[in-house]
Each structure stands twice: as structure tokens, then as C-alpha cells.
Amino acid sequence: MDFVPAFRPPEHGTPQAWCLGFVGGRLLLPGGDAQRLQPTDAAAMAACAQARHYLGRLDGADCWALTLPAPPPGWLAVGLRDAMMRLPEPLMALAGRAAQVVEWDRTHRFCGVCGRATEPLAHERARRCSGCGHTAYPRINPAMMALVWRRRGGTAELLLARSPHHPPGLYSALAGFVEPGESLEDCVHREIAEEVGVRVHALRWYGSQSWPFPHNLMLAFSAEWLAGEIVIQQDELEAAAWFALDALPPVPPLFSISGHLIRDTVAALRRGGLG
């Protein structure tokens, strides 16, 4: 499925459109079933909407992000994470884009500088204060993710950690937000040292993923352990440990970049790579 992003709707829109509707931050799905999400009557959905935002075209059909006061007949509101996990990748990405645009619009109706009402701009996705002129664009929070690995006695191991926010038993790579003035590499070294007390080197860029919970951009690396023993940051983590490749705990699904990072790093280490 080919997606072409855009801000301005075309002069002649498509009668059937991908309508990503939200009620209270929950995504609307036909009967609650992600597999049934298809282009629908754009005019009918727009008539119910409190606000709408053009996103572009997917496979030639217009795409809209909508906020509605209640689900229309035949539609159910589903938690965004659950809904996205059931959608194919192009629609998963589109739902994430729509959710971020809707949430940005909802939280920037008033100026953060002087408190006056803001107005949407016609030429770009932004809201400008009617008083002081301050302009607010959609917010993106860059966040580092790092998977630490080592070889000991010919055996490869991964350093995985548990956050209090993870489902029971789930372990993942380390992660944290980039601070002002930091490079991504600086953030990797700082977060790993803060969260588990070890030092790393040989950073390798892996990839990125938009993570709409609510506005994050995950930037993933692998890194080789250099020195230090695990000492967890008590207010951030519940546990952290080294795990052999054939004895990993439950890890995130492939819905998230952390799941891909862990599985691809395991495959590379088994082939004798990364070192």
C-alpha cells in the first residue's frame, strides 16, 4: 500500500476515504474489528466530526484524521495500542500519524505563551496564537533505545531490563528521552550508565519508529558492553540482567521496534556478527 503524505486536501477529494476517527483518544473500528477497516463514505464521517485533518492518500484514497463526540452506529472505539497491533503495517503507521495529529490539535487550542486562543494555519500544519503570534507545530519527542550485548567465554548475552510499565514478565532494551544539548550517542551512553551502571562502546545504528504514545520517535541502537556491573536505577527499573540467547525472557512483539531490534540482534550474534 503506497502512502503519499500531504497537508492540504485536493480540490476534488475521493468519495471513499480512509477515515481514522477518534473518540477520547480511542480509535474507531467497524464493529471493533481492525480487519474490517476499509475506505468509507468520507462525507458521512465528516458530517459527524468535531474536527478533521487531512493526512494524504493511501492507495489513491484520501486519508483523514477525525475527532468525534461518540462512535457512529456500527463503529466501536478501541484502545490505540490494541488497535494498531491488529492493523497491517501501512494502516498501523497511518493510525499512529492520525493519533498524533489529533492529540496535538486537542492540546494546542490555547497559546502556551499568553493563553489566548490559537487558530489553524492554512499553508502548513500549525496553530498560531491570535494574540502574541506564537506558532505551535506538532510535537515530536526523540527517545533513544539501546540493546546492550556482550560475549563471555564464547557465549553471547543480552542485557534486558524490566520497567514498572511493562506487562508482567516482559523484558526489553533500555530506553530514555534525549535531553537538550545532547547528541543521540551522548544520550545512549548517559541513559545506559544511569539505568544499569555499565559503560558501552561500538554503537551501531539500527533504525527508527514513530511511537504515538503520545508523540515519541524511537531511535534504536545496539551497543557492546565495555565495563561495569549491573546496578539498576531503582526509580526507573524493576529489574535488569544478562540473558543467554537461548534463555531469553518474554520480549516485546514485532509491533514495536524493540521487538525487531532484539530478534535481529540475536540473529546477528548467532551468525558471529556485531563483534
Which of 149, 171, 150 has its CA nearest to residue 162? 171
Taking only the tens of pLDDT, the chain with its 275 residues reads 899 999 999 999 999 999 999 999 999 999 999 989 999 998 888 888 999 999 999 999 999 999 999 999 999 999 999 999 999 989 999 999 999 999 999 999 999 999 999 999 999 999 999 999 999 999 999 999 999 999 988 899 999 999 998 889 999 999 999 999 999 999 999 999 999 999 999 999 999 999 999 899 999 999 999 999 999 999 999 999 999 999 999 999 989 999 999 999 999 999 988 86
- Mapped onto helix, strand or coil, the DSSP state of residue 264 is helix
Q: Exposure string (b/e) for 10-36, b if CB count within 10 Å is 16 or more?
A: eeebeeebbbbbbbeebbbbeebebee
In this prediction the pTM is 0.90
Residues whose CB falls within 8 Å of the CB of residue 237, separated by 6 or more in sequence, listed in order:
161, 162, 163, 164, 195, 196
